[in-house]
Structure 1
Amino acid sequence: MQTDLLAWLRWVLIPNLGLKRSHQLLNLIDSPQALFLHPDRWPLPDSIKQTIREMNLLGEQHPIHRRAVEQCRWAEADQHHLILPMDDHYPEKLTYIEDAPLILWGVGDPTLLSNTQVGIVGSRHASHNALRHTKAISRDLALAGVTLTSGGAKGVDAACHQAAVDQQGTTIAVLGCGVDVIYPKINRTLFSDIRQQGLLLSEYPLGTQPKPGHFPRRNRLISALSDIVVVIEAATQSGSLITAAHALDQGKDIFAMPGDIGNPNCAGCHQLIRDGAYILTSADDLLQHLNWRADAHANRTNNSAPELTPVQQQIVKVLQCDQLPLDSLAHQLNLAVHQLLEPILELELSGLIEQQPGGYTLCDIA
């Protein structure tokens, strides 16, 4: 068991020590061991000094020491990683933020942390169209070889990760809990897939349960790791806008997808665009902004699609913007309902559109 790693874990696991105070101490202390050798030398609250004295007194019997040993042993398993700032896998991008984590817990492939990354965030209760656009954009980015980074939540986050997994691409899920905690439960299978071809990442120790305050802090890591941050459907008071604010503070460029002006879930994106964010229309916007290498971009494989008649092309174009019942679709296209029955049936059979309670809509892109 690595002595340095155990010392760092003991440090990080001290209650209420915090990152801000830890970074202040690191300007004074040469090694984590020094914190425990001379606790009274350092500018610390009495309660923390007392905790360190108790740790020194009880040694291996102290609960914090035992917990640190457990986390060290966890890292001995395949695909389990504890990443310190001096390790090769610690991302350089995180060293530029003031409150960089002292330890990262990871499950999967930590080499992805050095990849070019696009952070994609948005509503947990995203509309069907927002999820469809998220999947299409994420699919194209994954096929181009870009690593997709998001927060592992339901909605836009999950759609982003799932699209990358479906294309055998790479994705990083930055969690607001321990990497051994499944949250939300609905993403259990998705997280299992990410472990195999991506990375689950957290600054929170094993066993940490999700709490509301964890997620805004998690968002600063998503933006810090990402070369570009994309916001797809977000309200004005949302975690996605917190991520965007962190991105601005970190000097990152932001893309926002415009949406329905009557949908409050789109108001945050419209606010970002008013404030100067780039308008997102497709993955090409992002790839061009990144000056993504031409060979990687050219390697994208387009799914073969059946040749569409002019009427079918009009139907698909209209449904890209909205979900419509048959009579409204006929009105939009200035056609009789009976003229649409055959082309719509063919589109349904080809898997391009589907009928839902609110009308016809484009199918999700796998």
Structure 2
Amino acid sequence: MSNFADLPTMLSMQIAHVSFRQLQAVQQHFGSLQTALESPQADWQRGELLSEAQLAILFADDLQARLDEALAWGEENNQAWLLLGDKEYPQSLTEISEAPIVLGVRGNIELLSDPQIAIVGSRHASRLGVETAKDFAKHLSSQGLAITSGLALGIDTAAHKGALEGVGKTVAVVATGLDRIYPASNQKLGHQIAEEGAMISEFPLGTKPLNYNFPRRNRIISGLSLGTLVVEAALKSGSLITARTALEQGREVFAVPGSIHNPLAKGCHQLIKQGAKLVESGQDVLEELSSNLQSTLNLFAEQSTVEKKSASAVNTQSQSKLLEWIGYDAIGLDELVVLSKMPVSSLQGELMLLELSGEVEALSAARWRRIR
């Protein structure tokens, strides 16, 4: 349960576009959010807690109807609302400034807490840029990482498609309400992501694709992820906003270099000059993140027991066991699941660690083989 209030109360705040800081101020002023919603509009105005536009929404005649619609939406199969403070709310987002107070989710909620890499770039990407983004996403996904992006045209679309060809799946963070998919040309892809991965939004149902919402959602893309990879970006690209928020959040930033004559490479080159890691392959990304992935995947590998063994001991034991089943001939992930009886997410994590340590290598079609 949220640390602030119940679902209807928090959804009311979301519908009025109340931010985390505003929510804290409202709670402090009124003592509780329930008390706040029972208070007359004049009390809100005297406190100067919200804008006039926000108050107009909060005290509009149709608020209850919008609230009922949102509650009904959350009861549908494969759809849910997550409140800040819920145990399923991704821990990585609680660490950023202005964490979303409510997240709508279509798809697999558990995926939001898996290790993620953001891949972003130009909406008007070149053919080479699209192929590069898809290759990076497919490789990183084949290692068990979830690929996070914004469902925009160009690089975002390529990243989602590449991820769906791997095993780590994909998360789409959208700047509209989850009752619509934007752009319309990504309708089929959006439905596939909702079925096989997850689509999330902090915006109320009915929110249209407004320009100022896209930069705002970028902090969620980077906030969910261990690092952000920019594939192609012009100097004024919105992808550079995502890279900046990643840096502000203490996350890694990677950039793929390109031709000095390509305007879509200039944003990436600027990032590299400013300290972003130049990467040429998915393996470069994995190597840069190896220490972060080790600690993150250790947490996924821990079992909830009264007395937990140390993560390193658990990982060492499970990795040694896996090596008994992985030979020099390729073996598929499905077969390893049957042999090891491990959850897929834990198995993928252990395989990634074994690859990082040079014990095994990943092949196409989610297959693995031992190399030493």
Q: Percent identity at matched positions?
A: 38
Q: Counterpart of 1:13 in structure 2: which amino acid?
A: I
Q: TM-score, with normalisation over the residues of structure 1? A: 0.75
User: In the alignment, what sits opposite 1:311?
Assistant: none
Deviation, 1:11, is 2.1
1:13 lines up with 2:15 in the alignment? yes
- Call closer, same or farther: CA 1:38–1:236 in 2, change over 3 Å: same
Cα pair 1:23 1:99 within 8 Å, conserved: no
1:36 maps to which residue?
A: 37
Partner SS, residue 6 of structure 2: helix
Alignment of 1:101-250 (within 5 A): 101-250=100-249
Residue 245 (structure 1) shift: 0.7
Distance in 2 between the 1:51 and 1:129 partners?
Answer: 48
Change (3 A) 1:264 1:8: same
Letter in 2 for 1:35: A
Using structure 2 for the length normalisation, give the TM-score.
Answer: 0.74
Displacement of 1:250 after TM fit? 0.7
**8 Å contact kept, 1:143–1:299:** no
Q: How many residues align?
A: 296
Aligned residues of 1:122 and 1:156 also touching (Cα < 8 A): yes
Shift of the alpha carbon at 1:38? 3.2
1:24 aligns with 2:25: yes
> Corresponding residue for 2:260?
261
Change (3 A) 1:241 1:51: closer
Unpaired runs of at least 5, structure 2: 294-348, 367-372
Q: Deviations over 1:54-105 (max 9, x none)?
A: 56xxxxxx31111011100111111101000121211111112221111101
Aligned to 1:283: 282
Does structure 2 retain, via aligned residues, the 8 Å contact 1:236–1:267?
yes
1:247-266 deviation per Cα after TM superposition (whole angstroms, max 9, x unaligned): 11111111000001101111
Amino acid at match of 1:275: Q
Alignment check: 8 A CA contact 2:143 2:167 kept? no
Letter in 1 for 2:220: L
Give the 5 Å matches for 1:286-365.
286-291=285-290, 292=293, 295-296=351-352, 297=355, 298=360, 300-302=362-364
1:4 aligns with 2:3: no
Instruction: Say what the alpha-carbon RMSD is for the aligned residues.
Output: 2.4
| Distance across 2 between alignment mates of 1:189 and 1:53 | 34
Aligned-partner SS, 2:254 = strand
Cα shift readout 1:144-171 (whole Å, capped 9, x = no counterpart)? 0000000000111000100111234310
Report the Cα offset of residue 227 of structure 1.
0.4
Shift of 1:106: 0.8
CA, structure 1 residues 295+177, in 2 after alignment: closer, same or farther (shift >3 Å)? same
Shift in alpha-carbon separation, 1:121–1:90, aligned structure 2, 3 A = same
**Contact 2:148–2:170 at 8 Å: present in 1 too?**
yes
Larger Rg: 1
Name 1:59's counterpart in structure 2: none
Deviation at 1:290, TM superposition (A): 2.1
User: 4+ residue stretches of structure 1 with deviation over 4 A?
Assistant: 16-19, 27-30, 45-55
Query: Which SS does the other structure have where 1:105 is aligned?
Result: strand
* Rounded Cα–Cα distance in structure 2 between residues aligned with 1:220 and 1:173: 13
Structure 1 residues 294 and 12: CA distance shift in structure 2, 3 A = closer
Q: Distance in 1 between matches of 2:63 and 2:97?
A: 26
Q: Which SS does the other structure have where 2:362 is aligned?
A: coil
- Would you say the 8 A contact 1:169–1:197 is kept in 2? no
Distance 2:173 2:70 in 1: 19
**Structure 1 residues 51-62: aligned runs within 5 Å:** 51=56, 54=59, 62=61
Alpha-carbon separation, structure 2, partners of 1:69 and 1:188: 26
C-alpha deviations, 1:187-242, integer Å up to 9, x for none? 11111110111000000111111011010001111011110110001011011000
- Shift, 1:303, TM fit: 6.4
Gaps of 5+ in 1: 56-61, 305-366
SS at match of 1:107: strand
CA distance in 2, matches of 1:294, 1:22: 40
Which amino acid in structure 2 is aligned with residue 301 of structure 1? L
Q: What is aligned with 1:339? A: none
